[in-house]
Structure 1
Amino acid sequence: MAEEYIEKADNFIKYRDRYSNERIFKAIQNIPKQNKVKKFLRDDPLALKVFARYRRSKYYFPTMKLFYKFLSHFGKTNDRQIVFESGVGKRYEDSPRMIYEKMIDNKEDYDYIWIMNNNAPLKVNPHTKIIKRLSPSYYKYLATSKYWVNNQNFPTYLTKPKQTQYLQTWHGTPLKKMQHDQEQIEGRDEGYLARVTHAKNQWSALVSPSPYATQAFRSAFQYNGPVLELGYPRNDVFYTPHIDEKRESIRRKLNIAEDKKVIFYAPTFRDNQKKGKKFTMKNKINFRIFERRLGEDYVLLIREHVVVASKLNIPEEFRHNIINVSKYPDVQELMIASDMLVTDYSSVMFDYANTNKPMYFYCYDLDEYDDMRGFYFDLEEQAPGPIVKNTSNLFRAIAKGHQYWDNYGEKYQVFQNRFAPLDGPDRAEKVYKAFFKR
């Protein structure tokens, strides 16, 4: 078959090998044992309806809190059981994923519980269970597991059992000030600081990618516990073998032509943009200007922050080269697939420094954001790329890409050395062994 047709066929074929039977067999082994209560609820429409109504009632969470408290005090702890959660159960990604997958690869003898609210793919393992966040099983496994691993926080109203060890991987190197370092806190209620401080007090160890991050974490969280300053496990992916093949595979999955350059736009959320209790985000990219200036040679991937509830609307006429990747399961894969990053104040910039690819900073509200949130360093002075404040200037800067390294090469190197000095291959293994094997 000609190469071009093989590539087209690959869009419909996930595996070109002879191991389908093995994968199916492992998947069958991974089916959880039938739970009689769940079977009853599933098979009885009335019971299902009653439970759904109870789940939405004001009594559900108080009951779950009592259930959790009882189990954490009197339930039996499973010393081989680990609960993993990432992005409040919305995504299978980040450092918890890399730690989990490395432990699976190394055949570590544990029972793994993944908190997932969707059907995102998991590495096949017969000792892994997938549990819905905030379900009764969620509280059960949190109460009876020896280990917790999270990149954010479990519900702040929970206190971990005394025997439980909690590895907090966090979700990025900080640029914007956090928690106790903020002079004023927008978009949060009065009890926010007390809640996150209680959550921080549950941590047994915190992962850090650099001395800079460690200092910021200790200050922002008022955290004095153990820090595993070993680099970010989530960035292992940039140092894996066959990275070029992986890049091609991801781009095929997104239906991106080989001759297109890919811009990855990943903004953070705004504390002062909320509707009720949920964060919203207004799109500040002018699609028409992108189409006119760069549309012929580029594809634009846009990923909203995980806490943003509003949906990005891309008109039909632009969808041939502007793609909403907010639900794509792994942000690191999007970085691999891209040729450049556009961000604002997101910690994605520090991870992206591992790729050695250009970065552009679309900071249309720089002064307002700085006044509202504050920064740990002067972004305008240290950014390893141009800072622009409107769409026209952004795409003009990208079009002049050949000048990027002449203008920002030295700054890029300084940025890497300060903010990602410890990232490299096998950080996940170093972190999990430092935590679980101590």
Structure 2
Amino acid sequence: MNENNKKNAELRSIQTEDKSTNHKVKKAILDNFLSLNSNIIKTIHRAGRYAFMCKLMDREIPKAYREAAKAPVDEKKVVFVEVRHPHVTNSMQVMFDELANNYDYNIHTHFLLTNGTIRADFRKRCLDAVRDIATAKYVFMNEASNTMSAMPLRHETKIIQLWHGCGAFKKFGFSTADLLFGASRKEQLRHPFNKNYSLVTVSSPEVIWAYNEAMNIDESTGIVQATGSSRTDIFYDKEFLNEAREHVYELVPQAKGKKIILYAPTFRGRVAKAETPDMLNIKMFYEALGEEYVLLIKHHPVVKNPPAVPEAYKDFAMDVGNILSIEELLSVSDICISDYSSLVFEYSLFEKPLIFFAYDLDEYFDWRGFYYDYYELAPGLIAKTNLEMIDYIQHIDERFDKKAIQEFRYKFMRSCDGHATQRIIDTAFENPQAHRKECEKFEHFYSVPKVESSKTPYFKRVEKVKRQKEAATSLYASLKSSKLKKGSVIALDIKSKEIKLLAKQAGIKLVKSGNLDEAMPIIAQSQFIIIDKPSTLLDSIELRSETKVIYLPSNAFPLSAFGYATKKYRSGLRREIYENAPLFSSVTAVTAPSKATGELLKKGFNKDVEVLEIGDVKSDILFNEENRQKLLNKLYEKYPKLKGRKIIAYISTNGEPIDDSAMYEYLYKDYVLLKCYTNPANMTETSIYYADSIVDVSESFKPYELLSIADIAIGNINAPILSFTATGKPIFLYTGNTAKALSEIEPLIDFENEVKLPVFNSIYDVINGILDIEKYDYTGYNQTKEKYLALCNGNSLENLLNQLK
């Protein structure tokens, strides 16, 4: 404990029972000290961040950019930059879809994670982004960024600001310089957030002046143009509109047969500590409107802790922020309630009723301000109370002024006609027609891309693959005539810990490609090469015909798409890598645990590969008794109190937690619960009261290792859990929301129709099933096992080696 903390603890120990003057004086001193101490810490933190940002913006970014800009511009490189979010958001998604489907540009992505990561990581992300942008022809953004403005931008590169909202409602940028919300004019001039733009797209000619003011752009440059907003094109897509309604009904079945009220407020305060309003009275809405309406709530995405919907009204109201996009909600809602959010402009395209819940209008005006008079702007009810809104909705047919919405739409959204994306491309790109490509089927890449786990940015990986290809091709050519070792088998760059263990036990040589001088002679002389992930090394060279490359799937159960079957491949995100090392081009065979699984796996390859029906090598660990005992010894050595009871393994691949309290209350006498989260960031803190029965082992056990010692398995819908059916031991698929869980999977299989296993939404149903485990229903279980995992019996590697002889 440091000296400040010790002092604070001593001061807090003053006895509050003493009501004397002496006590009051001491308490006042304590309060003043704590307040002063807190302010000093905040001041130091602000000063440290300011110094960090000055160094980054004034020196490091310009230097990194200039060095990288010595290389020529890549005329095909298009970079998407997200400032705050870890994925391409809706403001740029339509543009991303258009370029990925209909053009041959090389798409790169960067995620700066402003306010979402530590300084060292933020610095690296910024420098990686500017180094990549230094040779890019086109750059897309949707938010302001001092990082992008700090670059001494070369004239060949164009930055297109798509912006994340339509119209011009609440003030931003230079328009807020003299308000509470914004940074001072001096600060904004020192490190501007809206500089280097070639084009800023807006939704209507009416608002050009506001964006010029907010971004400090000279109107004579013509940079701000009313091309329309790319994101609004999706509202003219009939297929999307139909799918949106089906998706809403799938996730919110209580909405069928009722009208939908959408409540979508903007945040309050600054972005880093954004809060959401909590003045909508769900109880009043339910009692007055519950028979005719459902209420769907979508808080602003920067809000971290939105208020929970009371359990009593779950059939009427639902927070759908994590399961439905704002585009889907705007498309299906019959009434929209907002406040100061720009989404009202987009909603006006549907010409449906808008309600403005502006209970704190005066405070918000002082805080941030508006570009237009609020009372003249709003084309619907401006309400300060819940009763006003309820009364308006109850009389909506006679009170809704459609003409006001139409006039509002024309004024602020007239350039949004469903063709904005193409208009932006035609305006910003040089000869885009030369880069058009045939598109068999237009796809939406809503789940792609997200931040990749690789520590090396994409543009550096491209260079690495190019260098590797050049060196490997030359080296392999000199070794190609060397004598092949007939029957020789090696395992190259194996990722799976389980497969490494089994390969060692079988005497298979493990080879790493890091040192080409050592690896290439072995590769050149090997007849069989086993891999468990795509190999850019093997795919970048032309192997001798006698060498066969066998791919081991990452999981026994064929749940998720891989390779050519994924949207990630089709999005073009890694096009440059695959141009140098065509994905799976070296693979000649794939292993499979059944004929049905083999047919599914073939979809991942862009060619006909041989299917070796030998089982699944990775699943052999589930049957390895010797290794099981070693793992148990390892477990009990660290947690001796767990010994003597059966093991329940909980595997979570999406971070969904399990109710420790419920599991402990009902099962601790006979079972222990071992939890494994595949993403370490999702690890949970278990109460000390449950430590004798519940342990998070994410750091010490891989999923298949944990499953190999388990008697029962619980998990969200994921491949390791489904692979566990090979053992014949009980599994319980558990998720709080089945539809959401399935929507997160890019399936290789028709899960709902083909997997004959129940999915539990209540942990108490799972607990009851475990308490009555003798009555576990194996009917659907055995059907699933027989169809997809019939040959998984612990002998898969032996079977494979026998086939290779």
TM-score grouping bracket, smaller chain normalisation: 0.7 to 0.9
How far did residue 92 of structure 1 move?
Answer: 3.4
The verdict on how the C-alpha distance between 1:274 and 1:315 changes in structure 2, with shifts beyond 3 A counting, is farther
Looking at structure 2, the residues matched to 91 and 253 of structure 1 have their Cα atoms a distance apart, in angstroms, of 24
- 1:92, 1:330 within 8 Å by CA — same for their partners in 2? no
Distance 1:69 1:136, change over 3 A: closer
Cross-structure match for 2:137: 146
1:195-254 residue CA offsets vs partner (Å, 9 max, x unmatched) = 66x232211111011111111111222212423312111111121234652342231343
Match of 1:89 in 2: 85
From 131, 147, 151, give the equivalent of 1:159.
Answer: 151
Query: C-alpha displacement at 1:413, in angstroms?
Result: 1.9
Q: Which moved more, 1:71-80 or 1:360-369?
A: 71-80
Separation in 1, partners of 2:187, 2:350: 36
How far, CA to CA, are the matches of 2:237 and 2:158 in structure 1? 29
- Alpha carbons of 1:64 and 1:391: their partners in 2 closer, same or farther (altered >3 Å)? farther
Question: CA separation in 2, counterparts of 1:133 and 1:433?
Answer: 34
- The counterpart of 1:205, out of the listed 199, 209, 227, is 199
Q: Structure 1 unaligned segments of length 5 or more: list them.
A: 1-57, 119-131
In terms of Rg, which structure is larger?
A: 2
Aligned to 2:643: none
What's the offset of the Cα at 1:136?
6.6
2:79 aligned counterpart, secondary structure? strand
- Report the CA distance between 1:387 and its aligned residue: 0.7
Q: Please say if 1:433 is aligned against 2:430.
A: no
| Aligned CA distance change for structure 1 residues 292 and 165 (closer, same or farther; 3 Å) | same
Q: Alignment RMSD, CA only?
A: 3.0
Say yes or no: does 1:171 pair with 2:168: no
Aligned counterparts, 1:334-353, within 5 A: 334-353=329-348
- Structure 2 residue 254 is matched with structure 1 residue 259: no
Letter in 2 for 1:228: Q
Contact 2:267 2:300 in 1 (8 A): yes
User: 1:300-321 CA deviation, whole Å, 9 max, x = no partner?
Assistant: 2222223333333223333333
User: Which residue of 1 is the match for residue 36 of structure 2?
Assistant: none
In the TM superposition, residue 279 of structure 1 has moved relative to its aligned partner by: 2.1
> 2:237 matched to which residue of 1?
240
Q: Is the 8 A contact 2:172 2:182 kept in 1?
A: no
Runs of 4+ in 1 over 6 A off after TM superposition: none
User: Which stretch shows the higher mean deviation, 303-312 or 354-363?
Assistant: 303-312
Change (3 A) 1:351 1:312: same
Question: Residues of 1 paired with 2:146 and 2:369: CA distance?
Answer: 26
CA offsets 1:260-286 (integer angstroms, 9 cap, x no match): 21111121223xx359x4222232211
Aligned residue type for 2:224: V
Aligned match of 1:99 = 95
- How many residues are aligned here? 360
1:168-197 CA-to-partner distances (Å, cap 9, x unmatched) read 01122211233333373224454652366x
Query: Within 2, Cα distance between the matches of 1:152 and 1:381?
Result: 28
Match for residue 226 of structure 2? 229
Q: Match of 1:280, SS?
A: coil
Amino acid at match of 2:266: T
* 1:420 aligned partner, one-letter code: M
1:105-153 Cα deviation digits (max 9, x unpaired): 32x11011234699xxxxxxxxxxxxx9937754543343222101103
The alpha-carbon distance between structure 1 residues 68 and 183, as it changes in their structure 2 partners (threshold 3 A), is closer
Q: 1: CA distance between counterparts of 2:359 and 2:93? A: 33
The counterpart of 1:362, out of the listed 354, 357, 361, is 357
Q: Match of 1:112?
A: 107
Is the CA contact (8 Å cut-off) linking 2:359 and 2:385 kept in structure 1?
A: yes
Distance verdict in 2 for CA 1:328–1:233, change over 3 Å: farther
Choose from 390, 399, 404 the match for 1:411. Answer: 404
- TM-score normalized by the length of structure 2: 0.41
Rounded Cα–Cα distance in structure 1 between residues aligned with 2:331 and 2:246: 10
Whichever residue aligns with residue 276 of structure 2, its letter is M
Q: Could you tell me how far 1:347 is from its partner in structure 2?
A: 0.8
Measure, in 2, the Cα distance between the counterparts of 1:333 and 1:386.
24
Structure with greater contact order relative to length (CA < 8 Å, sep ≥ 6) = 1
- In structure 2, the CA distance between the partners of 1:310 and 1:263, relative to structure 1 (3 Å rule), is same
- Alpha-carbon spacing, 1:329–1:290, altered in 2? closer, same or farther (3 Å): closer
Q: Which amino acid aligns with 2:261?
A: I
Q: Once the 2 structures are TM-superposed, how far is the Cα of residue 166 of structure 1 from its aligned partner?
A: 0.3
The answer to whether the 8 A contact 2:83-2:111 is kept is no
Cα 1:206–1:289 change in 2 (3 A) is: same
Contact 2:177 2:183 in 1 (8 A): no
Letter in 1 for 2:140: V
Quote the sequence identity (%).
26
Name the CA distance, whole Å, in 1 between partners of 2:62 and 2:216.
29
Residue identity opposite 1:369 in structure 2: Y
**Which sits farther off after the overlay, 363-372 or 303-312?**
303-312
Partners in 2 of 1:203 and 1:185 — Cα distance?
A: 25
Q: Distance in 2 between matches of 1:346 and 1:253?
A: 27
Say whether the 8 Å CA contact 1:67–1:139 is kept in structure 2: no
Q: Pairwise mapping of residues 7-406 of structure 1 onto structure 2 (< 5 A)?
A: 65=61, 68-69=64-65, 71-86=67-82, 88-90=84-86, 92-106=88-102, 108-115=103-110, 134=125, 137-156=128-147, 158-159=150-151, 161-162=153-154, 163-172=156-165, 173-182=167-176, 184-190=178-184, 192-194=187-189, 198-224=192-218, 225=221, 226-242=223-239, 244-256=241-253, 257-270=255-268, 273-274=269-270, 277-328=272-323, 330-405=325-400
**For 1:309 and 1:64, how far apart are their aligned partners in 2?**
31
Q: Deviations over 1:299-356 (max 9, x none)?
A: 2222222333333322333333322233357322220121121111111111111112
- Per-residue Cα deviation, 1:378-412 (whole angstroms, up to 9, x for no partner): 2223321111011222222122221233xx12211
CA–CA separation in structure 1 for the residues paired with 2:214 and 2:270: 23
Residue identity in the other structure for 1:337: V
CA–CA separation in structure 1 for the residues paired with 2:62 and 2:345: 41
- One-letter identity of the residue aligned with 2:280: I
**Could you say which residue in structure 1 is the equivalent of 2:572?**
none
Residues of 1 paired with 2:105 and 2:282: CA distance? Answer: 48
Write the distance in 2 (CA, Å) between the matches of 1:319 and 1:214. Answer: 43
**More moved, 168-177 vs 182-191:** 182-191
1:42-86 deviations in Å (ceiling 9; x for gaps): xxxxxxxxxxxxxxxx89x95974884365344554321111135
Q: C-alpha distance in 1, partners of 2:124/2:90? A: 17
The one-letter code of the counterpart of 2:90 is D
* Equivalent position of 2:700 in the other structure: none
Q: Is 1:422 the equivalent of 2:399?
A: no
Hey, what's the Cα distance between the residues in 2 that align with 1:91 and 1:290?
A: 35
- The 3 A distance-change label for structure 1 pair 373 and 75 is same
Compute the displacement of 1:423 (Å).
1.2
Give ranges in structure 2 of 5+ residues lacking alignment: 1-51, 114-122, 432-805
For residues 245 and 364 of structure 2, the distance between their equivalents in structure 1, rounded to whole angstroms, comes to 37
Go from structure 1 to structure 2 and tell me whether the alpha carbon gap of 1:221 and 1:139 turns closer, same or farther (over 3 Å shift).
closer
Q: Does the Cα contact within 8 Å between 2:146 and 2:194 map onto a contact in 1?
A: no
Q: Using the alignment, how far apart are the partners of 2:370 and 2:307 within structure 1? A: 27
